[in-house]
Structure 1
Amino acid sequence: MTRLRVGSGSSSLDDSATAGAEAARAALAGLAGTTPGLVIVYASIRYDLTELLAAVRGVTGDAPLVGASASGQFADGEFLPAGTSVSVMILGAGVYRFGTAAITGIGADTVAAGHKLARQAVDAAGAAAPHSALLVLADGMAGDMQGLLTGIYRVTGALVPVVGGAAGDDRTFAGSYVLHDGEALRDAAVAVSIGSDRPLHVVAAHGWQPQTLPMLITQVDGTAVLEIAGRPATEVYNEGVANYERTRTQPARIQHTDGTGEVWHTATAFGLIEPDGTQLVRGAYIGEGGLLHTFTPLPEYAAVQVVSADQDDLLDISDQVVNDALRGVPDPAVMLMFSCVARTDILGDRAFEEAARLHKAAGSVATFGFYTYGEFARTTGVAGYHNATITALAL
């Protein structure tokens, strides 16, 4: 199989058009004359995204473009904090078949939106390839992201893995965007169907450690968790937090301040136990009136554990996620990666170490990604929406 040509570039210039053009030119140079097959753009919302995209496409031409607003980015080991930069990755044509699609209004019915999005992306890719994967980027504030994956699964089934992430907005909570060709879209999702002559596989790893035995969720109301094992959920959750605090020096509750005031993040969460024993991390917080919530609803009677992580826990999985993603990939060129902004809360002033360790583990393979409001890695079953996790696809 011919090796994929890739190039990446970034810019932190203030002018939207100048920054977009600078990043795109650097990325195009890496293709060494190869025709662009797909352009991926991640950017801070400080930019006028329409102007930025016009400048990028002024360099890359009419090659299909997808992307997202972010809460920070990383490229080839460089950590680009929230609110600073734009990053561009260009994948060369001829090795993989790319078909892109975008839909709006996803929040009204994320399941139906996922179904429509997957169908359009698959159709856009044209003739069926022996193997495929779906890259999905979605407005991180548009509702139930697991519902979006459920709708996608109804089209692609179990054989097509899904990778990607939910767009961020520099932690301002002002609204996130997905990008498609020359448009910046809200309440929307974009997808890329990637056709391949070899199997494509998606991986996920997080480093979170259990603090309780497995328990059943016995009562929920939307995102509110009311009972765990027949007991008040907040009481059970706080016991897990206490277990963490007895054994760790890092606080279990980490305060992050942004333009909207003080928001509490936590180094504890739920691990939703999958049939194969792995865990999908579900972020949790205690809201108004002491009510326990998760960012995505937990299924009633699901098995969960309270899980925790400190800085070393999160960083120590870097080699694992890279090795898993590269295993069996002949002559890989790039790892498309997605890491949660909640990980940067816990890592604090060590956040740059994650990007550096991932790239070091990847060796000569390029690494490119952004910090999300939730990650996609659907591999075997319907579930595949994660929090505080790294997901990846190697091409």
Structure 2
Amino acid sequence: MRRLDHATVTSQPDTRLRAGVGYSESADPVEAGQAAVRAALDGLAGQPPALLIVYASVSYDLIALLHAVRGVAGPTPLVGCTTSGQFHEGRLITPGIGISVLALTAGPYRFGVASVTGVRDDPVGAGQRLARAAREAAGPEPGPHAAVLLLTTGLAGHQQELLNGVHKVVGAPVPVVGGGAGDDRLLVRTCVFEGDRIYTDGGASAVWIAAPEPLTVVAEHGWHDVSLPLLVTRSDGLVIQEIGGRPAAEVFREHFDDDVGHERPGLVRPAPGYLSAYAFGLIEPDGGKLIRGAYIDTDGQLRSFTPLPPYAPVQIVACAPEDLLRVTEDVVEQAVAGRDATVLLAFSCVARLDVLAEQGAVEAARIQAAAGDVTTFGFYTYGEFARTNRVAGYHNATLTAIAL
């Protein structure tokens, strides 16, 4: 398979970072793209943009949409992806339509943008190539500290392996944050962007963020245990076959609370066994948990969105809307603590939006309220990245963030 790698470098004088946000819910891709990017650029008070981040519904003609954005913004480095909803400045754009654009000056940062294909075939290698290309694009002497913003096609799988590849290059000192692209819950086609290029089915893009001081990546989920620790004793890819030597679906079902009515149409429309309020917590060596979404399909098999390997220690976890909302202030406060932040980049799972249901807009509002004068910008993902000082760092149903 031919692999395409692209990288773009940009730098600006060290001044205070400025951010501008624009959005449109017009159904016309040219009108929507032009309106959103013009509003974003207007927020920079006449300073030149150093980076554009674009989140959009997959319902658009994406080629026309990106051409419209770049027709206004010119050659400014651009990354982004399709989503299952977006949120910014306290506003929720629900899945199905809409584009959101964040424009950033460089301020004290240096950005290096890159993209790769081949995540399905060689995820570790793709992660290594992507990290090297983004770091190189940031230019010589990119700064004493850094973070990586990582966006991937959400249906490609192998997300933890991709992250492992990035980690092999950047090491523990460089945190990684980001998310998997969505497609308005259709589970058909997810896309990432870099410049005017669109990648599907195994593409990824990244931004190397060189910084004068350490950057903090935060992740919290709000889920709580409803089972004792369990052991996955047999699995095959995304199918979990046995837990503790018993049929996995049977073990999963026996922890359902009949009084919890959180079954939503959500991600898996043909699967009546998908209850977004139940998942697995993959137990980490330090006792923390990575959330892994799961559902029972129409054939009665228990499936996850990310493989749970044999002999993985897990607990079944559950949540209610108030559990998810409770962590928003902590995530924001930890991300902005100790810095004069301009923008908070946040990534929340569409499974959280399913659980929140009619309270979906509350999460966006609470994030902005906690951030105060800091601009907030994010999207609903098919999985989130938040790796700080360990290799593991791919999550489901979690809120992650970084402040610049």
* Aligned with 1:382 (options 377, 391, 396): 391
User: What is the CA-CA distance between 1:197 and the residue it aligns to?
Assistant: 0.4
**Whole-Å Cα distance in 2 between the matches of residues 85 and 368 of structure 1?**
14
| TM-score relative to the length of structure 2 | 0.92
Give 1:252 shift: 4.9
CA-to-aligned-CA distance 1:283-341 (integer Å, 9 cap, x gap):
0111243221211111322221100011111111111111111122x210010001111
Letter in 2 for 1:177: C
Is 1:334–2:343 an aligned residue pair? yes
Partner of 1:198: 213
Q: Please, which moves more after superposition, 54-63 or 31-40?
A: 54-63
Does structure 1 residue 37 correspond to structure 2 residue 50?
yes
Distance in 2, matches of 1:95 and 1:257, equals 40
Please state if 1:349 is matched with 2:358.
Answer: yes
Could you tell me which residue of structure 2 aligns to residue 140 of structure 1?
A: 154
SS in 2 for 1:105: coil
Q: Which has the higher helix share?
A: 1
Q: Which runs of 5+ in 2 are unaligned?
A: 1-13
Does 2:163 correspond to 1:163?
no
**SS of equivalent to 2:120:** helix
Matched residue, 1:276: 286
CA distance in 1, matches of 2:139, 2:24: 34
C-alpha distance 256-136 of structure 1, shift in aligned 2 (>3 A): closer
Deviation at 1:215, TM superposition (A): 1.9
Say if 2:271 and 2:297, in contact at 8 Å, map to a contact too: no
2:8 aligned partner: none
Which of structure 1's runs of 4+ aligned residues deviate more than 4 A?
260-263
One-letter amino acid of the structure 2 residue matched with residue 230 of structure 1: G
Gaps of 5+ in 1: none
Give, in angstroms, the shift of residue 173 of structure 1: 2.2
Is the CA contact 2:270–2:298 (under 8 Å) kept in the aligned structure 1?
no
- Separation (CA, whole Å) in 2 of partners of 1:257 and 1:322: 26
Q: 1:268–1:307: 8 Å Cα contact kept in structure 2?
A: yes
Q: Which amino acid aligns with 1:155?
A: V
Q: How many residues align?
A: 388
Which residue in the other structure is 1:312 paired with?
Answer: 322
SS at match of 1:106: coil
Within-5 A mapping of 1:79-118: 79-118=92-131
SS in 2 for 1:360: helix
Secondary structure of the corresponding residue to residue 365 of structure 2: helix
2:36 maps to 23
Q: CA deviation at 1:255?
A: 3.5
- Partners of 1:202 and 1:218 in 2: how far apart? 33
Distance 1:357 1:47 in 2: 29
CA distance in 2, matches of 1:98, 1:18: 28
Per-residue CA deviation, residues 55-89 of structure 1 (Å, 9 max, x unaligned), is: 11122221110000011100100000111210000
Q: Structure 1 pair 192/51, CA: closer, same or farther in 2 (3 Å)?
A: same
Q: Percent identity?
A: 53
Q: Distance in 2 between matches of 1:12 and 1:58?
A: 19
d(CA) in 1 for partners of 2:315, 2:89: 35
Closer, same or farther in 2 for the Cα pair 1:266/1:296, shift >3 Å? Answer: same
Shift of 1:2: 4.4
From 120, 141, 163, the equivalent of 1:149 is: 163
Is 1:124 equivalent to 2:137 in the alignment?
yes
Q: 1:159 to 1:251 in 2, by over 3 A?
A: same
Aligned match for 2:304, one of 275, 282, 294: 294
Q: Partners in 2 of 1:320 and 1:326 — Cα distance?
A: 10
Contact 2:346/2:402 (<8 A) preserved: yes
1:361 aligned partner, one-letter code: A
Cα distance in 2 for partners of 1:190, 1:210 equals: 34
- Structure 1 residues 174 and 220, CA, compared in 2 at 3 Å: closer, same or farther? closer
Please tell me whether the aligned partners of residues 3 and 331 of structure 1 are also in contact (alpha carbons under 8 angstroms): no
Alignment match, 2:243 = 228
Distance across 1 between alignment mates of 2:171 and 2:237: 26
- Correspondence for 1:66 among 79, 84, 88: 79
Is 1:324 aligned with 2:324? no
Question: CA RMSD of the aligned region, Å?
Answer: 1.7
Q: Distance in 1 between matches of 2:62 and 2:98?
A: 12
d(CA) in 2 for partners of 1:349 and 1:388?
17
Cα distance, 1:105 vs. partner?
2.9
- Per the alignment, residue 372 of structure 2 pairs with 363
The one-letter code matched in structure 1 to 2:321 is Q
Deviation, structure 1 residue 144:
1.4
The alignment partner of 1:218 has SS state of strand
Q: TM-score, normalised by structure 1?
A: 0.94
Q: Which residue matches 2:4? A: none
What is the distance in 2 between the residues matched to 1:82 and 1:223?
Answer: 25
What CA distance in whole angstroms lies between the structure 1 residues aligned with 2:315 and 2:389?
A: 21
CA distance in 2 between partners of 1:365 and 1:276 (Å): 32
Q: Relative to structure 1, is the Cα distance of residues 66 and 257 closer, same or farther in structure 2, using a 3 angstrom cutoff?
A: closer
